[in-house]
Copies of this chain bind each other. A is one copy, B any other.
Amino acid sequence: MKLNQIARELNGELVGDTDLVITGLAKIEQAGPGELTFLANPKYSKFLKETKASAVLVARDQENIQIPHIKVDDPYLAFLIILEKFNPPQQPNFSGTHSTAVIDPTATIAKNARIGPLVFIGRNVSIGEDTTIYPGCVLLDSVSIGGNCILYPNVSIRERCIIGDNVIIHNGTVIGSDGFGFAPVGDTYRKIPQMGIVRIEDDIEIGANCTIDRATLGETIIKQGCKLDNLIQIAHNVVIEENTVIAAQTGVSGSTKIGKNVTLAGQVGTVGHITIGDKAIVAAKSGVSKSIPPGEVWFGYPAQQITRQKKVEASLRNLPELMKRTHQLEKALIELEEKLKKNERGK
């Protein structure tokens, strides 16, 4: 790609050789001749002089650039856009519906969808335009998948679950397994039938080997724009609002409601039936046992507001010293009491 094509693509202001041919992309400290790089973080400004890149994406107000460059609003975002142009997602080696896929005749599959080898598709399943189902996926009866989705290998989706448009689900993830519900009967347990579904809205990415349980009644819902990492557990009847991000190995217990633009870091656990407010942040490995108000940052086990938690941790580090100080106080007090007694006797 020529530099002026890239500038046009990005709606950027090109300074330098318009016909320069860009052959690859790299980070500023690693880029070599022919490569385009970017400067987003001022910490990396020092590399601007040293870089061997042939061109650089910079912010509109960046000055003192010796090499050809394109000025854009957000250099990192611009870099990502060009990165994708250079690396279009590879198309798999199957198209249409593969002869080894087992597809129920009642299923409705869009013309441009790709159903890979060794896929199972049950009764009344519907699959939208441009969706790709990789080998080993299993979609049981009445599952609905929107358009432009990717289901990577070995994803399985239970009956009646609904997936929106532009959803990516990584390998091995399970959608719609039974919620964990049992009623005690004496010393044993009786299964509570899990008759609801899972609804995944649009523009969502779900990592590998996650488990998202169907509702007991009604729906477990993940709303538009959420991003989930790997090995995450979402229990029955959980609702996660728009654009929430959840890192790996986190677990959300039954009926908990998570707001919009929340961040749950890795290995977090929450109890059931609580609410985590919009834009709240829960730091890694926290155990959340009560509701969190919107916008707050929580941390710890049990989790509390991070400022309180940090104070406790600081005192905790000083705890052995505090023990010593208390011991010295006790000694000093006893000495003082004895002195006082002596004084009194002395009178």
Residue A120 interfacial (CB < 8 Å): yes
Contacts of A195 in B (CB 8 A): 83, 87
Residues in B with CB closer than 8 Å to A187 are 225, 242-243, 260-261
CB neighbors of B among A174-226 (8 A): 174, 177-178, 180, 182-183, 185, 187-193, 195, 203, 205, 207-211, 213, 217, 225
A337 at the interface (CB under 8 A from B): yes
Query: With A195-B83, A243-B187, A266-B253 as given contacts, are A319 and B329 in contact (CB-CB < 8 Å)?
Result: no
Chain A, residues 79-101, CB within 8 Å of chain B (1/0): the string is 01001100101101100001010
A177 to B225, CA, bound (A): 19
| A215-B44 Cα distance, complex, nearest whole Å | 21
Q: Which residues of B contact A242 (CB under 8 A)?
A: 187
Which residues of B have CB within 8 Å of A156? 136, 152-154, 171-172
Main DSSP-derived SS at the A contact region: loop
For A330, the chain B residues whose CB sits under 8 A away are: 325, 329
Bound CA–CA A244/B159 (angstroms): 28
Q: Is A285 an interface residue (CB 8 A)?
A: yes
| A-B CB contact pairs (8 Å), 15 listed | A80-B192, A83-B193, A153-B156, A171-B177, A178-B207, A187-B243, A235-B248, A249-B269, A251-B266, A269-B284, A285-B301, A312-B317, A329-B329, A329-B330, A332-B337
Chain B residue at smallest Cβ distance from A316: B312
Q: How far is the CA of A27 from the CA of B225 in the complex (A)?
A: 31
Copies of this protein chain in the complex: 3
B322 touches A322 (CB 8 A): yes
A78 to B253 Cα, complex, angstroms: 26
User: Which chain B residues border A170 with CB–CB below 8 Å?
Assistant: 174, 177-178, 211
The smallest C-beta distance from A196 to any residue of chain B, in angstroms, reads 11
Contacts of A211 in B (CB 8 A): 170-172, 207-209, 230-231, 248
Interface flag for A12 (CB, 8 Å): no
Interface segment, one of A49-57, A60-68, A338-346: A338-346
Contacts of A45 in B (CB 8 A): none
Question: Restricting to A299-323, which residues have a CB under 8 Å from any CB of B?
Answer: 301-302, 311-320, 322-323
- Chain B residues with CB under 8 A of A229: 180, 233
CA distance A326 to B322 in the complex (A): 8
Give min CB distance, A123 to chain B, whole Å. Answer: 5
Nearest-CB distance from A283 to chain B (Å)? 9
A14 close to B (CB within 8 Å): no
The answer to whether A209 and B209 have CB atoms under 8 Å apart is yes
Query: Is A271 among interface residues, defined by CB-CB distance under 8 A?
Result: yes
